[in-house]
Amino acid sequence: MVSKFICRFLLLPLLIATATPASSDKFAFAVGEWPPFVSQEQPGYGLHSKLIREIFHSQGHEISLEFFPWRRSLQLTKSGTFPATFSWSYLEERDADYIYANEPIEDLTDVYFYRKDRFPAGLPPLSFEELKEQSLTVVGVGGYWYETVLAKEDVIFQIVATEEEAWNMLYHGRADIFIENDISGIVQKQQFLEAAADEITYSDPIRTIPLYIMFSRKHPDAASMIEIWDTGMKKRRADKADSQTQ
């Protein structure tokens, strides 16, 4: 898997060099609700949306966001209806349909959310093999990274369409665990469970990984957008390093 990932990044400059220039300086993204990182209810449409807008704007480009269920955002990007979607972790099986830029958006941490009364002594960051051995039920949104991995490990997995459904299943005891980013999970449980949110807590991290914009292999603007993003993020990182040395 690592060798394929490296090869894909080595070939990316060639793809960019041979790309057809973008036909417009305003680029559309297919996204979904994932507060506080991507959301219609957050200032600037969320932390990741704000960063991406700033990077494109710094090079003279604008962006627009269209909100869909997350699985639909994936499909629309895969088909080339939209050139890109964010924020996603790397999965090898997505390489056939999507291109990942070299520069991630940021690294984030995933945890297990669970009811306090279900695990009164707390829940450690168990491996997926241990989840299977203990016959624990995981609830999650279809299309997310854990769906394929849990299936391979034969973990009991309940697929739902939205995060709200997942939180309700967890709260009502129809699942033992919901896998989510720690920051977003804290926001979501307050949003969906309100006063009952205090009955839910979370484990130590199960992984920390980079998240990316995924670009469609079928859209003509994709390669130009990758170049804009990578160039802008490299400059941002260099400017930050310079400011810290002054």
Task: Give the tens place of pLDDT for each residue, 198-227.
Answer: 999 999 999 999 999 999 999 999 999 999
Query: Does residue 67 register a pLDDT over 60?
Result: yes
Q: Which residue has the tokens 């088909």?
A: 79
- Arithmetic mean of pLDDT over the chain: 90
Q: Decide: helix, strand or coil at residue 67.
A: strand
Q: Decide: helix, strand or coil at residue 87.
A: strand
How far are the Cα atoms of 72, 108, 140, 207, 219 from residue 202, in angstroms, in the given order? 28, 15, 15, 13, 39
State the fold for domain 108-207.
D-Maltodextrin-Binding Protein; domain 2 (3.40.190)
Gap between the Cα atoms of 224 and 108, Å rounded: 26
Return the pLDDT at 210.
97
Return the pLDDT at 104.
98
Sign of CA dihedral 153, 156, 160, 163: negative
pLDDT tens, residue by residue, 7-29: 444 444 444 444 444 444 899 99
Burial degree of 241 (CB within 10 A; 0-12, 13-18, 19+) = exposed
Domain boundaries, the chain: 2-107+210-245, 108-207
Give CATH for domain 2-107+210-245.
Answer: 3.40.190.10
Q: State the DSSP H helix or E strand holding residue 109, giving kind and residue range, or none if neither.
A: strand 106-115
Do 2-107+210-245 and 108-207 agree at the fold level?
A: yes
Name the pLDDT band for 245 (thresholds 50, 70, 90). Answer: low
Name the pLDDT band for 73 (thresholds 50, 70, 90). Answer: very high
Residue 67: strand pairing partners? 31
